[in-house]
Chains A and B, each alone.
Chain A
Amino acid sequence: MRDVVAGYGGHPILHGVSFSVRAGETLVVVGPNGSGKSTLMKTAVGLLRPISGQVLFGEANVTTLGAPARAARGLANVPQEANIFRNMTVLENLQVGYEFVASHSAPSFGKRLDAVLDLFPEIRAKLRSTAGYLSGGQRQMVAMAAALMPEPSVLALDEPSAGLSPRNAEILFEVIGRVAASGVTLLIVEQNTRLGLGAADHGVVLVGGRIRLAAPAAEVLADPDIRRLYLGGA
């Protein structure tokens, strides 16, 4: 992302944000409420067109492409809320995740299903259940699994721990770690600073629509200012 200014109705919320994620790495964006995290995410996945600046995906400029077109290029997205089809079964969620995005050269549905279920063994037994009846943590896994079905190169997660109990959030970040280990590039926006940075290679701290700090995750975690501000002085 290069010099991105974005916002709603002409009011910029992001004031010239630049950062990049290297292939195969995990980048976590943290910051207080209202710092522009979700605006940043929407701009990244193509739900919001920036006022100025560019969004680059590999070598290609995707600034003007909408979400479906970016999805077709291998950018998968798990929105913060309402990220599953509640009235459909888990299997159908995975099917829908696959069939409208996967290119013809992609591995078959069956192969991808096996691969994804290996990453999320917890949902294998739930394939026939209606997704809306699952627990919060399981729903997040279904949402991530559906996004991973077409074998994307980048997975964007918007506040994956939102609404989860601390215990479930920890389990979820273990799963996210598994996904990262499988070679997928991850862009995560997360309110839970400690959990988020703990799972990341790099961290970006966003404050008031500007980048306050961009560094390897361990350095961000160790930064005294950040510790005081967002980790409650711990």
Chain B
Amino acid sequence: MGQLLVNGIVAGLLLALPALALSLTFSVLRFANYAVGSYLSCGAYLVYIGNVVLGMPLWLAASAGAALFAVIAVGIDWLAYRPLRDRGGVTLLVASMGVAIALENVIRFFAGNLPRAYNVPVARPMRFGDIRLNHEQLTILVAVFAALAVVWIIFRFTRLGRMMRAVADNPDLAAVRGISRSRVVAYVWLIAGMLTTLSGVLVGLDANVEPQMGWTYLLPVFTAAILGGIANPMAAVAGALTLGLAEELATLVMPVHYRMIVTFLVMVALLLVRPWGLFGTRWVTK
């Protein structure tokens, strides 16, 4: 049971960063970026290049990859989403499907379909009584908490954070108050790009680096974000942890390969009962 809880928390933490990225972009741009899964895969592959092809240590490759992909995310926005900004969330959603397909096939073209692994030293798992914690899980724990802390501090206490929250809260008033929306949008994509890359690395550590990795995370990430109330970035983290635990506990009664079904059932139940999210307050558009 203790082991299940630990695994559930780790699974939830893996979801937390992309869910945070998804709801961050949603809160400012009002569209659900379906390509968030592909962003995760792309980031993971960029870091793979640094780590395995160029021989950097993983932390360095991850930092470089995150910085690079953050810029790419801004570039994608500039090319694909910005021209469609005034055309509504649905058009952007469909466009993000196009972006997702394009990115995934860039990966397939250059890297093929075979799963790959990062070059990290193999270490024995640590034991705490009955509970086993391997090094990858420890890395995930530390990295996700660190990233969440940084984002939370930016959000809560900095000028940039106030800018982002102001635009998310009331874009018209933010413009009246002298905040440039396009700058906020660029910052949001930078942060989202870094978060998805980092999560791609962690997912790659936990399992493998493969073109499908983002796709398998897409549904859980959306569910986690909806659990939190999709326009509420920090609550998305709570949603991710809840979902991770639910998925792991469900393995007691369901085969492991049906994780996705657990996710789906959680989402459906939530949409029927509390569509504004488990932790969110009712969304009022005014």
Q: Do chains A and B touch in the complex (CB under 8 A)?
A: yes
Q: How far is the CA of A95 from the CA of B159 in the complex (A)?
A: 9
**Segment touching B, from A49-57, A71-79, A207-215, A224-232:** A71-79
A92, CB-defined interface residue at 8 Å: yes
Which of A79, A86, A87, A95 counts the most chain B CB atoms within 10 A? A87
Q: How far is the CA of A60 from the CA of B227 in the complex (A)?
A: 51
Known: A82-B286, A99-B159. A87 touches B169 (CB 8 A): yes
B64, CB-defined interface residue at 8 Å: no
A82 touches B175 (CB 8 A): no
B179, CB-defined interface residue at 8 Å: yes
A85 touches B173 (CB 8 A): yes
Nearest residue, chain B, Cβ from A146: B177
B178, CB-defined interface residue at 8 Å: yes
B134, CB-defined interface residue at 8 Å: no
Which of B159, B165, B166, B178 counts the most chain A CB atoms within 10 A? B178
A 85-107 contacts with B by CB, 8 A: 85-88, 92, 95-97, 99-101
B91, CB-defined interface residue at 8 Å: no
Interface string of B160-176 (1 = CB under 8 A from A): 00110110111011111
B180, CB-defined interface residue at 8 Å: yes
Known: A72-B178, A101-B178, A146-B177. A96 touches B162 (CB 8 A): yes
Which of B166, B176, B286 counts the most chain A CB atoms within 10 A? B176
Main secondary structure of the interface of B (DSSP, over half): helix
Q: How far is the CA of A66 from the CA of B177 in the complex (A)?
A: 12
Number of B interface residues in the complex (CB < 8 A): 18
Residues from chain B with Cβ under 8 Å of A66 in the complex: 175
Would you give the shortest CB distance from B35 to chain A, in whole angstroms?
27
A 146-170 contacts with B by CB, 8 A: 146
Nearest residue, chain B, Cβ from A101: B178
A 34-49 contacts with B by CB, 8 A: 45, 47
Q: How far is the CA of A67 from the CA of B176 in the complex (A)?
A: 6
A87 touches B165 (CB 8 A): yes
A96 touches B166 (CB 8 A): yes
Residues from chain A with Cβ under 8 Å of B172 in the complex: 79, 82
A88 touches B165 (CB 8 A): yes
Known: A92-B162, A95-B162, A96-B162. A71 touches B178 (CB 8 A): yes
Would you give the shortest CB distance from A42 to chain B, in whole angstroms?
11
Would you give the shortest CB distance from A69 to chain B, in whole angstroms?
9
Which of A72, A84, A96 counts the most chain B CB atoms within 10 A? A96
Nearest residue, chain A, Cβ from B169: A85
A121, CB-defined interface residue at 8 Å: no
**Known contacts A68-B175, A87-B168, then 15 further A-B pairs from the complex at CB < 8 Å, ordered by chain A residue:** A67-B176, A68-B180, A81-B286, A82-B172, A82-B173, A84-B170, A85-B169, A87-B169, A88-B165, A92-B165, A95-B162, A96-B174, A96-B177, A96-B179, A99-B159
List 24 A-B pairs, Cβ < 8 Å. Answer: A45-B176, A47-B176, A66-B175, A68-B178, A71-B177, A72-B178, A77-B176, A79-B172, A79-B176, A82-B170, A83-B173, A85-B165, A85-B173, A86-B169, A88-B162, A88-B165, A92-B162, A92-B165, A96-B163, A96-B177, A96-B179, A99-B159, A100-B163, A100-B177
- Which residues in A have some Cβ–Cβ distance to B below 8 Å? 45, 47, 66-68, 71-72, 77, 79, 81-88, 92, 95-97, 99-101, 146
- Which residues in B have some Cβ–Cβ distance to A below 8 Å? 159, 162-163, 165-166, 168-170, 172-180, 286
Q: Which 6 A-B pairs have the closest CB atoms?
A: A100-B178, A101-B178, A85-B169, A68-B178, A71-B178, A96-B166
